Amino acid sequence: VPAGLPGVGRVRSGQTIADAVRPILEGTGDIAAVEPVRLQPDLWLLPGSLDLSRFEDKLSNEWSRAYAGDIAAIRTSTAFHRIMEQAARAVDADVVLIDVGPNLGA
């Protein structure tokens, strides 16, 4: 978060969306809960991470299996949606904005 934005604090180090998908990536479970960071009243953030690039390959590989009905692949393919739903419920959000950086991956 840029320091120059009025009223917006720095994001504390801690959990990111990459932490939420780590159990899927490592094959140890489903998404893990991550706590949104409060930036100011009624403004919350789920920080991203460069570690998400590791999850991109898994998403690409699971897509056709999810389409064929494989339950584990469906969990992988819907992970981001479920993480956002979980976080939105935790802070009673009405609107969720998703900022995805430009890249060449999935």
Tokens 């339950």 label which residue?
Answer: 71
Work out the end-to-end distance of the chain between its first and last CA atoms, rounded to an integer number of angstroms: 25
**Does the residue 68 lie in any domain?**
yes
46 assigned to some structural domain:
yes
Any domain includes 73: yes
pTM, rounded to two decimals: 0.77
Our count of domains for the chain comes to 1
State the DSSP code for 45.
E
Domain containing residue 42: 17-91
At 12, is the pLDDT very low, low, confident or very high (cuts 50, 70, 90)?
very low
pLDDT at 104: 56
Question: Does any domain span residue 55?
Answer: yes
Residue 1's pLDDT is: 38
Does residue 31 lie within any of the structural domains? yes
45 strand-pairing partners: 37
What integer best gives the mean pLDDT of the chain? 83
Burial of 3 (0-12, 13-18, 19+ CB in 10 A): exposed
